[in-house]
Amino acid sequence: MGINILAMGNYIPEQKLKNDDFTRFIETNDEWIRTRTGIVERPMAGWEPTWYMGMKAAEAAVKKSGINVKDIGLVISCTATSDFLTPSMASVIQHKIGAVNAGAFDLNAACTGFVYALDTARRFVQTDENMKYVLVVANESLSRFLDFNDRGSCILFGDGAAAAIIEKSDKMYSSALRSDGSGADLLCARSLNVAPEIRQDAPDDFTDNFPDMPLHKLFQNGKEVYKFATSALPKSFTLAAEKIGVTKDDIDWFIPHQANVRIIETAAKKLGVSMDKFIVTLDHFGNTSSASIPLALNEGIEKGLIKRGQKLALIGFGAGLTYGGIILEY
Ligand code: UT7
């Protein structure tokens, strides 16, 4: 009941923000950022809209796969930083690449987005006889939602996109998706506001724990998210692994969400797995939200580290708070 990842592609904006660049507008330094996060530089979208990066990644994946783009039955874009509230990024990308026979929708599970989207795609190819290929695109422009006065968050994120084309296969597969919405206010960005004069009409039993903040600015409680992440990552693996009786020793590569190298190190320790089995791209990409797992996967494949037949564990966490894991054979 699994999938075959036929091909992947990516798009990385040329513009980079190095740690030292932040010293121009916040009190920080390269050493703090490197040692506390593992990040050295991160790509920043300039003129590129989110959909453009997704489209370029999708085109690269289609080209590599050798498939006819008209055989794509569905485009799923996972993004937390859509250019529009509507239309979906998926519809824009579907049109731009010429996937004229595909449906299209966006899926927002924040940084866990690719895990959710890949698992959703798997369910389509497994249950629809006519669905030959699904294109999953992770495209993110976190930089447009950052508060560049907040040194605890603005140094973490980068922009970019990665895409995968999948088809049905009988390869090993397991997944587990979870959410703990009690932590929804720990990592959020507001897209709409209720006008103050209308807000006062709210009934007494209405509560809104979300912090007051300007629209389209990311807020995070870094310490709490850190704590959550260090248990969510190992749990994401365990939940998916237990379903099919797989253990850490069966896994060739762990591809975690890239938020902070210390989070990954702690997760590796908790799982009892050497860091050598983890793909880490934080130094050059930073945290690209839902694009971080597929960018790391694609990089591992391109570097020749990840080989056909190997067993992979994709484990993520993010706003929501969401988390989840997929175990699959590449
Ligand atoms: O996709 C999920 C997205 N978010 C995350 O995954 C965030 C998870 N959290 C983290 O990665 C870490 O909590 C941070 C990197 C955000 C912060 O690291 P930390 O080790 O938890 O630092 P801290 O918040 O405990 O702050 C320690 C000190 C503070 O100074 P004082 O109060 O001790 O004087 C901060 O003000 O470091 C200060 N600090 C900085 N100093 C230099 C915070 N940010 C910076 C900075 N440069 N950029």
Per residue in 3-62, pLDDT (tens digit) is 999 999 999 999 999 999 999 999 999 999 999 999 999 999 999 999 999 999 999 999
pTM: 0.97
Catalytic status, residue 188:
no
Q: What is the pLDDT of residue 209?
A: 84
Instruction: Report, as an integer, the average pLDDT of 224-228.
Output: 98
Q: What gap in Å lies between CA 235 and CA 250, rounded to an integer? A: 17
Q: What is the pLDDT of residue 306?
A: 98
CA 302 to centroid of ligand 1, rounded, Å: 32
Are 253 and 313 in contact by the 8 Å Cβ rule? The answer is yes
The active-site residue out of 111, 139, 154, 188 is: 111
* pLDDT one-digit tens code per residue, 97-134: 999 999 999 999 999 999 999 999 999 999 999 999 99
Give CA torsion, residues 289, 295, 300, 306, to 10 deg.
90
Q: What is the pLDDT of residue 1?
A: 84
CA 228 to centroid of ligand 1, rounded, Å: 15
Residues whose beta carbon lies within 6 Å of some atom of ligand 1: 28, 32-33, 36-37, 111, 151-152, 155, 220, 222-223, 225-226, 229, 259-260, 287, 318
Instruction: Report, as an integer, the average pLDDT of 134-159.
Output: 97
Q: Taking all residues of the chain, what is their mean pLDDT, rounded to a whole number?
A: 97
Nearest CA residue ID for atom 21, ligand 1: 223
Catalytic status, residue 260:
no
Q: What is the pLDDT of residue 128?
A: 96
In the predicted structure, residue 207 carries a pLDDT above the cut 90:
no
Catalytic status, residue 298:
no
Q: What is the pLDDT of residue 143?
A: 96
Q: For the CA atoms of the chain, what is the radius of gyration? A: 19
Measured from the Cα of 292, ligand 1's closest atom is 1
